[in-house]
Amino acid sequence: MSGSVPLKQNCSGEPGLHLWISFLLIQEKTSFLWKTRLFLVNIGCCAAAAYFFRRHNKYCETGVYTLFAAFEYMVVFSNMAFHMTAFWDFGSAQVMVATPQEDKRF
């Protein structure tokens, strides 16, 4: 068979994790890629916000608090975008939330 992937097995005789990752669906790969990007953006924005907050408190420079606030908003937006990637994870799933009927006796 040309183009087939050789199976590499670990010591227990099962196919390795790298094969499982290579068989992920396109949506899962896309979701993982965006989650990784947005995680790194979020961490970078957190670091930048912390830097500008410290700089504002220590030196009280003009405009530094504005930069802190801008990065703080970027932390919030990147966090929201990170959680919006659940669309790729659960796009075709249906969720039904139900609670047991309560006995209302007063």
Task: Please provide the DSSP assignment of 13-32 as one string.
Answer: SSBPHHHHHHT--HHHHHHH
Percent of the chain with pLDDT over 70: 76
Contact by Cβ (8 Å): 18, 75: no
More confident residue, 87 or 91: 87
Q: How high does pLDDT run on average in the chain? A: 83
Question: Does the pLDDT value for residue 14 go beyond 70?
Answer: no
In this model, does residue 22 exceed pLDDT 90? Answer: no
Distance, in Å, from the CA atom of 2 to the CA atom of 34, rounded to the nearest integer, reads 32
26-78 pLDDT, tens digit per residue, is 778 888 999 999 999 999 999 999 999 999 999 999 999 999 999 999 999 99
pLDDT beyond 90 at 90: no
Write the DSSP symbol of residue 73: H
Q: Where are the domains of the chain?
A: 37-88
